[in-house]
């Protein structure tokens, strides 16, 4: 490995800039050669530097996604040593392999031929996650209390039906303790609520979960319907259908009668 370059150190941007500068210099030599200026261009060195830069970007994306070398190797059905070789720049993946990695690591595939690393602060992320968990526990606690009161139940009654101590239920409702999913499911049944009632819907995470659920419903549709809905040319028809779905029954009936008269 070349002295001064270590793709496994934390200063990814420094590594990337170093390699990018070397590639730029190599390109300048190549341009001079094309213009007739006598120079010696080292193609092997150019490929090697490009591989080093790609390795930095692969490792950067992997760490940002909190994935291990073994995770990526299992995804691609290859040995972990090969993934490590990619990150060192000693070997280079194919485009299909990069496409799978991009999907798995949640980055655009163009990330792997960019000149910038993903700027993340792991400590800030951990802090945000902790704050999110605390906030969500309090929100769920408030919903637990609301659902129980709307069901006309006292804590003692819920405790009797769930076999969970009143003191623990009080901590759940205050948000001081996270309620395990199995107990939340039981609580939901007792107060006659669906577990979806407690889901987050307002934050970025809630919106993402909503989109994922909507996408799942879309993929479950008949293939012909999916193809129709995915065609931008059919947006106008979909908007008409949405309008009809919101119309009162009497207006919808009149619209149907009007269409029938036109057809006859």
Which domains does the chain possess? 12-113 (1.10.260.40), 132-198 (1.10.260.40), 222-263 (no CATH)
For residue 94, what is the DSSP state? -
Closest CA to 171 of 143, 148, 141: 141
Distance CA 14, CA 26 (A): 19
Place of tokens 């129709």: 228
Distance CA 41, CA 66 (A): 39
Residue 73 pLDDT greater than 80, yes or no: yes
Q: For 115-165, write each residue's pLDDT tens digit.
A: 777 765 455 566 667 777 888 899 899 999 999 999 999 999 999 999 999
Query: Do 12 and 59 contact (CB within 8 A), yes or no?
Result: yes
């Amino acid at each position: 490995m070349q002295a001064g370059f270590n793709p496994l150190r934390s200063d990814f941007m420094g590594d990337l800039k170093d390699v990018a500068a070397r590639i730029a210099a190599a390109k300048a030599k190549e341009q001079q050669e094309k213009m007739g200026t006598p120079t010696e261009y080292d193609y092997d060195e150019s490929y090697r530097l490009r591989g080093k830069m790609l390795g930095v970007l692969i490792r950067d994306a992997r760490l940002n996604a909190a994935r291990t070398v073994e995770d990526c190797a299992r995804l691609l059905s290859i040995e972990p040593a090969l993934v490590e070789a990619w990150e060192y720049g000693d070997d280079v993946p194919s485009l299909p392999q990069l496409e799978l990695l991009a999907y798995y690591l949640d980055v655009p595939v163009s990330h792997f031929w960019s000149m910038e690393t993903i700027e993340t602060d792991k400590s800030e992320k951990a802090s945000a996650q902790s704050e999110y968990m605390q906030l969500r526990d309090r929100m769920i606690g408030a919903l637990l209390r609301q659902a129980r009161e709307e069901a006309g139940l006292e804590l003692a009654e819920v405790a009797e039906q769930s076999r969970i101590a009143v003191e623990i239920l009080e901590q759940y409702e205050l948000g001081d303790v996270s309620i395990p999913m199995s107990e939340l499911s039981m609580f939901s049944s007792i107060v006659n609520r669906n577990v979806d009632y407690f889901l987050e819907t307002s934050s970025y995470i809630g919106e993402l979960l909503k989109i994922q659920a909507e996408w799942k419903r879309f993929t479950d549709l008949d293939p012909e319907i999916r193809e129709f809905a995915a065609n931008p040319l059919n947006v106008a028809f979909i908007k008409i259908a949405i309008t009809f779905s919101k119309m009162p029954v009497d207006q919808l009936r009149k619209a149907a009668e009007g269409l029938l008269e036109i057809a006859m």
